[in-house]
């Protein structure tokens, strides 16, 4: 299932960060991390948590408030969006 962007214009910087998110998420997946919140993901990517949430919001809602993102599902969604 392809994720359709909510907005037709996705900033180039967001697209570049999405590629970084996938790389970092793949590392977490290799370490058997199943769920991650935006702040640890952001720290590993060199941005802040609100930036991660904003970037992902272009493509819909991912994750569960107070819980985080399912790593493998998020990888698949971002990869599909890219």
Q: What is the pLDDT of residue 6?
A: 52
The pLDDT value recorded for residue 39 is 95
* Residue 42 buriedness (CB in 10 A; 0-12 / 13-18 / 19+): buried
What percent of the chain lies above the pLDDT cut of 70?
90
Rounded-to-integer distance, Cα 29 and Cα 35, Å:
9
Q: What is the pLDDT of residues 43-58, one digit of tens each?
A: 999 999 999 999 999 8
3: left (phi over 0), alpha (psi -120 to 50) or beta: beta
Task: Provide the residue ranges of all domains of the chain, joining segments of one domain with +.
Answer: 12-81
Q: What is the CATH number of domain 12-81?
A: 1.10.10.10
Q: Which among 29, 42, 31, 15 is positioned nearest to 70, based on CA atoms?
A: 29
- Residue 30 is predicted with a pLDDT of 98
């Amino acid at each position: 299932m392809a994720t359709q962007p909510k907005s037709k214009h996705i900033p180039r910087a967001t697209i570049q960060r999405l590629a970084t998110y996938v790389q970092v998420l793949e590392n977490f997946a290799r370490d058997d991390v199943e769920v991650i919140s935006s702040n640890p993901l952001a720290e590993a990517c060199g941005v802040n948590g609100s930036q991660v949430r904003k970037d992902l919001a272009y493509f819909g809602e991912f994750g569960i408030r107070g819980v985080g993102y399912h790593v493998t599902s998020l990888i698949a969604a971002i990869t599909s969006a890219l």
